[in-house]
Chains A and B, each alone.
Chain A
């Protein structure tokens, strides 16, 4: 590169309580090219971009813009330097409409007054959105939009700001192929205008299509930076994961035992229809499917949270009508939810308290609890599951994602349930912890537990499951045993159509 970098990050480290998210990372960003940041979940890509955008401040290291050291202390400062982008969590106000969100704090005013010019705002928003190929009524409040549309609004919002460094953090997770193409068109146009683009993703196909240079992060450390043309996909994967992939999914297969869960013709209102599946003790049954295919809804229905319209559920061979989680837990079942912070943990409470949340009455049948016993119990799980916490009184909110998930697991282990549903068990967890969770799951089924695993991570599904069901738009569309399953077969059923060369499915009618 003969040009000078517009942004240089030198020796950036970032600490959170209990976790070192970034460790001495240095990256240079050049104008007019798409610089891809890849790495596994928890590798530090988002953290780095948030530091650049002013949402976090680095614990150590420095950032130079145009060769001058700067202190990006807030998003406004970042924007003043021309740095901004699209965040992972939507920075949208649900009760304001599309135009208001796009122009948040930058609303066009009537000449010489402080009054907001709504018609100009809407007009410009519409132009912006149509250049993205999106057709949304700009008067709609954000909360009425689907996730993909909200994402497009976020993108429009960032585009409007005419930035020099444009950061995109996993922008395509919820977009259709067509929307991705339009986004890429915008990206290419910005490239021509000399904007430096930072693109964060772990989807290799997309990166090939749009990226020029790539930086690989792993466990918070910088692994390598090089032009994309000089690495193969395999090399990238190896750099990202850094270890033998087969170790990621430690499984000891055994003969399945008795049936623990059987679902017959299950229909949930506005949800999954005609679901038939079985889980046996000693096996992990995986459910693959796209976001929105109804897997979590199925789990919630079986667990008694959402009402069941039709169909039967049998737990340990006994028919049961799930009415509430309380009932199902008493019958020997548990659920590790997708959103562990919202539904799995009381973040302000200690590890010990969270551990006993489900098993309190089991441990203390007389209703009188002993704080000491709770602590001892929690201590045994800390040891067994290798939970990284100084002691059991630690507030759970301070633990890293992986350790938080272990606390959730500890909670359900203490109920000694024979059947557990894991919904996205390793989402948002660093690689090391992922392996640990997988190992624990394997140990569980060795001891006779039956596990139903919902996961959007196809390699995880393929690697961990003994059998796989595929769901699509609320129905089960396929079933594979571990031997039969391949990535192509499962993916094609998940997407319901043929797969194009770049790995992105095109939706045909249906």
Chain B
């Protein structure tokens, strides 16, 4: 059992015993994840093969990236419902540009710039105009998905340049490119949140916006930055999705909004803000992806899948709530 030095009064240090309660929620999540893997392997031995694992990881990337972005927003006590629309907008925009002959890097940059604009809009609505985030980003969702719809005129684009599709389908060694991108984003995001002052400000704003403001924290800047970050992540996810499916359509981001928020909350980031982090959200996203992947393997009809996903979310959150009751 690891012991930690904790500062104590009278200038003394004390060794605090490994406090189980502090790590309980994280343990539970790992337990659920591992438990799922075990159960699925038992039910279908194909599950634990290298091929399938890679498959699952690749499948998880989109949701995970969105969740990383959403984590920062939820940490400030806010919400970003527009990620689904942003995903679609960026994916469709970049696809259109590439089809029109624009060089790939430029198309990508323009797409991500569009994402930043959406994030800025959200940040202004929530940070400066002080609108409730739920409502504001819901409105932005309509706007972004509407813009995507207009862009696509109801069509689907496919047949994108090969060098772009590598982002979604390619491999570096044995690992798919999207997985590498996701891993990089996770590490960067986590380091940012835990090791930088700006990241710490996010926690401060989420814990008590007023107290943070009165302590000199730049609240507006912090809020703006998390919404831009979330939109950026959504944009990247949209690009990867487009690259992998070799298709872009206006509704492509829709299922990821609520699943993304669910993953983050399941991951232990409290909706009121100030608590949580990226690793938890990653596990939450993995759990959700596993559930879906497992159901596919087991041949569960897609109709029942919605039901199961709903139940899983309820179960995970219920556990979390119980944990809160115990440790208080």
Contact = CB atoms under 8 A, between A and B. Distances in A.
The answer to whether A and B belong to the same complex is yes
Contact of A325 (B8, B208, B215): B215
A379 B8 contact: yes
Contact of B217 (A357, A388, A392, A393): A357
B198 A367 contact: yes
Interface in A307-332: 324-326, 328-330
B6 interface: yes
Nearest to A385: B9
Contact of A360 (B197, B208, B214, B274): B197
A357 B9 contact: no
A455 to B, nearest CB: 19
A328 B8 CA distance: 32
A325 B216 contact: yes
A369 B11 contact: no
B212 A357 contact: yes
Contact of A357 (B13, B194, B204): B204
Interface in B199-213: 200-201, 203-204, 207-208, 210-213
Contacts of B207: 346-349, 353
B275 A382 contact: no
Contact of A368 (B195, B217, B218): B195
Contact of A329 (B200, B201, B208, B216): B216
A155 interface: no
A364 interface: yes
B221 to A, nearest CB: 9
Given A343-B210, A346-B207, A375 B7 contact: yes
A369 to B, nearest CB: 6
Contact of A391 (B6, B198, B204, B210): B6
B16 interface: yes
B41 interface: no
B7 A344 contact: no
Contact of B204 (A346, A376, A380, A383): A346
B196 interface: yes
Given A346-B208, A361-B197, A411 B16 contact: no
A417 to B, nearest CB: 10
A246 interface: no
Contacts of B9: 379, 382-383, 386-389
B291 to A, nearest CB: 31
Contacts of A411: 215
B10 interface: yes
Nearest to B209: A346
Nearest to B220: A324
A345 interface: yes
A378 B6 CA distance: 10
B52 interface: no
Contacts of A505: none
B14 interface: yes
B11 A345 contact: no
B215 A382 contact: no
Contacts of B195: 368-369
Nearest to A329: B216
A324 B210 CA distance: 13
Contacts of A328: 216
A335 interface: yes
Nearest to A377: B7
A357 B217 CA distance: 8
Contact of A358 (B11, B194, B215): B215
Nearest to B205: A346
B122 to A, nearest CB: 21
Interface of A: 303, 305, 324-326, 328-330, 335, 337, 342-349, 352-353, 356-358, 360-361, 364, 367-369, 371, 375-376, 378-380, 382-383, 386-393, 411, 415
12 contacts: A305-B213, A325-B215, A343-B214, A346-B204, A346-B208, A348-B208, A349-B207, A357-B204, A379-B7, A379-B11, A382-B9, A391-B16
Given A343-B210, A345-B211, A360-B197, 15 more contacts: A325-B214, A326-B218, A329-B216, A342-B211, A344-B211, A352-B7, A353-B200, A360-B200, A368-B195, A369-B196, A379-B7, A379-B13, A380-B7, A383-B10, A391-B8
Ranked nearest first, the 7 interchain pairs of A and B with the lowest CB-CB distance are A379-B7, A329-B216, A346-B207, A358-B215, A346-B208, A357-B215, A391-B6
